[in-house]
Structure 1
Amino acid sequence: FFFPTDKLILFIFPIGIPAWIFGLGFLVYSWVSAVGKGGLINHEAHLAGALWGWVYPLIFIPRSWDHLWTLAERFF
């Protein structure tokens, strides 16, 4: 939410991936796994946690709407 352009480097992929791309990919993976046979992992909890991760700052952190709007203008 606050640093979407920061690079994430995983041991599996030693290449820097922007945080927003990684997050979007993880949400797609969780969605596909939640719809299909997900095994023992509660993928719906990951989706709910991602939603709460967006809602919480918008409700409880002052001026986060302004920050989000600035980031959106930068990308689009």
Structure 2
Amino acid sequence: QHTPIIPEVGRSVDIENTGRGELTIQYQWGAPFMAGGWKVAKSHVVQRDETYHLQRPDNAFYHQRIVVINNGASR
């Protein structure tokens, strides 16, 4: 969610891992005009068959995103 004019509070999400391996979830934020690139506000490893509630940070950000990285098996 890109909001370059007014910082906004993000959203919380539920992540369900139905795959064969673990996932890493990152809540990332960026400063106005993306100076310095993306920074990780929160990170969590979700195991196979686990559902995790990723609670949004309390801070308001100009740019924010949730990134899911597959750490597990591809077969």
TM-score interval, smaller chain: under 0.3
Q: TM-score, normalised by structure 1?
A: 0.23
Q: TM-score, normalised by structure 2?
A: 0.23
The structure with the largest helix share of the pair is 1
Q: Which has the higher contact order (CA 8 A, sep 6+)?
A: 2
